[in-house]
Chain A
Amino acid sequence: EVQLVESGGGLVQPGGSLRLSCAASGFTFSSYWMHWVRQAPGKGLVWVSRINSDGSSTSYADSVKGRFTISRDNAKNTLYLQMNSLRAEDTAVYYCARSGGYGYFDLWGRGTLVTVSS
């Protein structure tokens, strides 16, 4: 089955760190660009970051630049998001998503909830 499964979310204090993972299966992971998209409670979708197929190029939203790092391990079919210096406004469901080289997202995971609170 073609799927993405996120993990690693949870409750963290402001200023803390968390690493999200996204396990891919059922397709050739190393052929696709991958992204993280987040959704604050009751709000809309916001793109966070992307990485190209071999991991040599990354891009970030201004709101997370310098604090978040996207990476991937194609041998393990896994995407990561290292989140440092977390803020209350980072509270959201984080989705990993696949794009086929254009920029629309044709496969999404179920998401993992990150809550930043003291």
Chain B
Amino acid sequence: AIRMTQSPSSFSASTGDRVTITCRASQGISSYLAWYQQKPGKAPKLLIYAASTLQSGVPSRFSGSGSGTDFTLTISCLQSEDFATYYCQQYYSYPPAFGGGTKVEIK
């Protein structure tokens, strides 16, 4: 099974900051990678699929890049509503696997 590793597991940032979250796959997954945002007590929300395609309705300050084993999620200008936990997920092969999550907290 493919394992997904995110880093960091958590960090603090301020509104307006540019932040980057990294996701690494244990083997190559081409561009079969999605990113989700989850707020406390809520369901995850799809942000990006195919590594870099923005889901409809998601603000353009979110962007994704990478292919193979290394991927990044970037938020260009952090807003108050962006403080949440972010997960990557590979769908290259079964079972689908999520990273451990990155919690973005307010500094």
Interface residues of A (CB under 8 A from B): 35, 44-47, 59, 61-62, 95, 99, 102-106, 108-111
Verify A106–B55 contact, CB threshold 8 A: yes
How many residues on chain B are close to A (CB under 8 Å)?
A: 23
Question: A44-B101, A47-B95, A61-B95 are contacts. A102–B44 as well, Cβ < 8 Å?
Answer: no
Interface: B25 (CB within 8 A): no
Majority-rule SS of B interface residues: loop
Residues of A within 8 A of B83 (CB): none
Using a CB–CB distance below 8 Å, which chain B residues touch chain A?
A: 32, 34, 36, 38, 42-46, 49, 55, 87, 89, 91-92, 94-101
Complex Cα distance, B88 from A104, in Å, reads 10
Known: A45-B87, A109-B43. A104 touches B98 (CB 8 A): no
* Other-chain contact of B98, A44, A102, A111 (Cβ < 8 Å): A44
Whether B32 and A103, one on each chain, are in contact in the complex, defined by CB atoms closer than 8 angstroms, is yes
Least Cβ–Cβ distance between B56 and chain A, in angstroms: 9
Contacts known (A106-B46, A108-B43, A111-B43); A44 close to B100, Cβ less than 8 A: yes
Instruction: Please pick, from A44, A47, A105, A111, the residue contacting B46 in the complex, using a CB distance under 8 A.
Output: A105
Q: Evaluate whether A44 and B95 lie within 8 angstroms (CB atoms) in the complex, with A102-B32, A104-B46, A110-B43 already known.
A: no
Q: Is the CB of A47 within 8 A of B96?
A: yes
* A104 & B34 in contact (Cβ 8 Å cutoff): yes
Closest CB in chain A relative to B15 CB, distance in Å: 26
* Contacts A59-B94, A61-B95, A103-B32 given; does A45 touch B44 at CB 8 Å: yes
Given the contacts A44-B100, A47-B97, A102 and B45 also touching, CB distance less than 8 Å: no
Let me know if B94 and A105 touch, CB within 8 A.
no
CA distance A44 to B96 in the complex (A): 13
New contact pairs (5) apart from A95-B43, A95-B44, A104-B46, CB-CB < 8 Å:
A45-B101, A103-B96, A106-B49, A108-B44, A109-B43
Task: For residue A20, give the distance in angstroms from its CB to the closest CB of chain B.
Answer: 15
B43 touches A45 (CB 8 A): no
